[in-house]
Structure 1
Amino acid sequence: MTEESASLDPDELGAYFALIEVSSLLRHAVELQLKDAGDLSYVQFQLLATLGDSPAGSKRMTDLADGVVYSRSGLTHQAGLLEAAGLVTRAPSVDDERSVTVTITDAGRARLAAVFPGHIEVLKKMFLAPLRHDDVESLGRSLSLVRDHMRATPPRSAAPRRRRGR
C-alpha cells in the first residue's frame, strides 16, 4: 500500500467526518425521541419498522439481522424484549424449521404509529431543514451508491459462525 493510497484528501476526510458527526447527532436525537414517545431503542424501532413495512408483517430473524446490520445474538435479545412487550411474536419458520420468523402484532403497529409523528418531526428539523429538494435528491443518490457498494459484501450477520474453542 502506497502512502498516497493510505491517505485521504481534504475533501474526502471532510466528507467522512461530516458523515460521522451527522450520523451521531441524528441518531442521538432519534434515540431520545423513540425512548420518550414509545419506550423503544433505536434497534427495536428499526425492527418494528422493517416488519411493519413488510407485506406479511413477518421476516426471518436472519433476514432482519442482515437488514438492520445487527448481530444474531443482539437481534435475538431485542426480539425477545419486543416479544415480552407484546409487540412481536416469534415462531418456527414454515419454510425452514431451523429458522425463526418474527411477526409484528397489532400492539407493535400501534407503537409504531405512536412514535412516527415525532420521528418524522426530528428528521425534518435536524436532517432535512437545511437542505433544498435537489440537495436531498443528490444526497439520496450518493448515499444509495455507497450503501449498494457496501451491501455487495455480505453483512456480518450472514458471516459463517465460528465454532467455540477454535
Structure 2
Amino acid sequence: MAESDGLAPAQLETYFALMEAVSLLQHAVERQLRAEGDISYVQFQLLARLAHGEGSLTMTELADGVVYSRSGLTHQAGLLERAGLITRGPSPDDQRATLVTVTDAGRALVDRVLPGHVQVARRLLFEPLTDQDVRTLGDLMARVRTHVRSLPPRSATPRRRRDDDHRSRR
C-alpha cells in the first residue's frame, strides 16, 4: 500500500482503538493522581523517575525520559520546586546542565500515590489481558517506541520558511 493511499481498514481500526484506550487510561490516571496527590501525570512521571532511580537527573535526561518539551518541563519543575518536592541546581559534572533532585517530601508523595496508580493500571489495562497478552503487548509497544524514538525529534526537522508558507497559500 502506498503512503498516499491511507491506512488499511484493520490499521485504521487498530489506530483508533489504541488512541481511545490510551486516552481513557490517561484520563483515569490523571484523575487518580489529582485526587490522591494533587499532581498531574507529567509531574508524577518526573517525581517517579527521580524517586525510583538515582534520585537526581539532569533536566535534559528528564525531558527525554518523559517525552516532554524542555520549556514545559521547566515550568513543571518550577511548580514541583515551589511545592518542595524537588530541588534544582548546577550539575557538578556539566556546568551547562541543571541537576534535578527529588526531596524527601517528593519521595513521600510518590509513595502515597503509587498504590492507587498501580490499582488503576491493573484494573484498566491489565485486568482484561492474559499473561501472554501482556508479554505480546509489551513486545509490540517496545518495538513501536524504539521505532518512533529512532526518528529525528521534531526540533531536528527543518523548519519551513515563511516564504514557502506564503507561496503555498497562493
Please give the TM-score of this superposition, normalised by the length of structure 2: 0.87
What is the alpha-carbon distance in structure 2 between the residues aligned to residue 159 and residue 53 of structure 1? 30
Counterpart code for 1:102: V
Indicate yes or no: 2:34 matched with 1:35: yes
Q: Deviations along 1:28-54, whole A, 9 cap, x unmatched?
A: 000000000101101000101111122
Indicate yes or no: 2:10 matched with 1:16: no
Counterpart code for 1:74: G
Deviation at 1:98, TM superposition (A): 1.3
Cα gap change, 1:104/1:62 in structure 2, threshold over 3 Å: closer, same or farther? same
* Map of 2:108 onto structure 1: 110
What is the alpha-carbon distance in structure 2 between the residues aligned to residue 116 and residue 40 of structure 1? 12
List aligned pairs for 1:16-165, cutoff 5 A: 16-54=15-53, 56-156=54-154, 159=156
Q: Deviations along 1:5-42, whole A, 9 cap, x unmatched?
A: 22111111111101100010000000000000101101
Whichever of the two has the greater Rg, that structure is 2
What is the alpha-carbon distance in structure 2 between the residues aligned to residue 153 and residue 57 of structure 1? 29
What is the alpha-carbon distance in structure 1 between the residues aligned to residue 93 and residue 151 of structure 2? 25
Q: Which has the higher contact order (CA 8 A, sep 6+)?
A: 1
Between stretches 28-37 and 65-74, larger displacement belongs to 65-74
What percent of counterpart residues are identical? 58
Deviation at 1:103, TM superposition (A): 0.5
- Structure 1's unaligned 5+ residue stretches are none
SS at match of 2:151: coil
- Structure 2's unaligned 5+ residue stretches are 160-170
Counterpart code for 2:36: A
Counterpart code for 2:20: E
Q: Which runs of 4+ in 1 moved over 2 A?
A: 3-6, 153-156
Please give the TM-score of this superposition, normalised by the length of structure 1: 0.89
Deviation at 1:159, TM superposition (A): 4.3
Q: Deviations along 1:112-162, whole A, 9 cap, x unmatched?
A: 000001001101111111111100100000000000011112444x749x9
